[in-house]
C-alpha cells in the first residue's frame, strides 16, 4: 500500500508538529527550572543586600568614632614636628661648635667606666 502525496505530507506535518511540541515541552520545563532558580537567587540577593546595608551602617559608625582619634594623631604629629624643630634649631645647631671638645671627653670617660667595670667583674 502506497501513500498518496497528501497522506505523505500529512504524515510529515504530523511528525514536525510532534517534534515541535516535544521541543516546546522540554523548553517550558527548562524555563520553569530557570525561573525557580532565579527566584531563589533573588531571595539570596535580597538577604545579601540587607546584610551589606547593615555592614555599611556599622562601618560608618566606626568611622565616625575614629574621626577624633585621627584628629588627635594629626595634632600629636604636628607637636612632635615642632619639638623636633625646637631641638634642631635651639639645641643641636648651636651646640655643634662644642662637639669637637665634648666627644673626646665623653669617649675618655666611657673608656674609664668600661675599665672600672671590667676590673670589678674580674675580682669576683
pTM: predicted TM-score of the whole model, two decimal places: 0.44
Which tens digit of pLDDT belongs to each residue from 74-103?
Answer: 999 999 999 999 988 888 788 788 888 888
Q: What is the mean pLDDT of the chain?
A: 89
Report yes or no: 71 and 64 within 8 Å, Cβ to Cβ.
Answer: no
- Domain spans of the chain? 37-123
C-alpha cell at 38: 532565579
Distance CA 48, CA 5 (A): 63
Q: Contacts for 55-62 with beta carbons within 8 Å, 24 or more apart?
A: none
Amino acid at each position: 500500500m502506497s501513500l498518496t502525496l497528501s497522506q505523505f505530507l500529512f504524515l510529515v506535518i504530523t511528525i514536525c508538529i510532534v517534534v515541535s511540541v516535544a521541543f516546546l515541552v522540554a523548553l517550558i520545563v527548562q524555563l520553569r527550572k530557570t525561573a525557580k532558580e532565579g527566584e531563589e537567587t533573588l531571595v539570596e540577593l535580597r538577604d545579601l543586600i540587607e546584610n551589606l546595608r547593615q555592614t555599611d551602617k556599622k562601618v560608618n559608625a566606626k568611622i565616625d568614632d575614629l574621626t577624633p582619634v585621627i584628629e588627635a594623631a594629626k595634632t600629636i604629629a604636628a607637636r612632635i614636628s615642632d619639638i623636633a624643630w625646637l631641638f634642631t634649631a635651639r639645641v643641636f645647631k648651636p651646640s655643634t661648635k662644642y662637639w669637637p671638645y665634648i666627644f673626646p671627653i665623653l669617649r675618655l670617660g666611657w673608656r674609664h667606666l668600661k675599665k672600672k667595670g671590667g676590673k670589678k667583674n674580674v675580682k669576683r
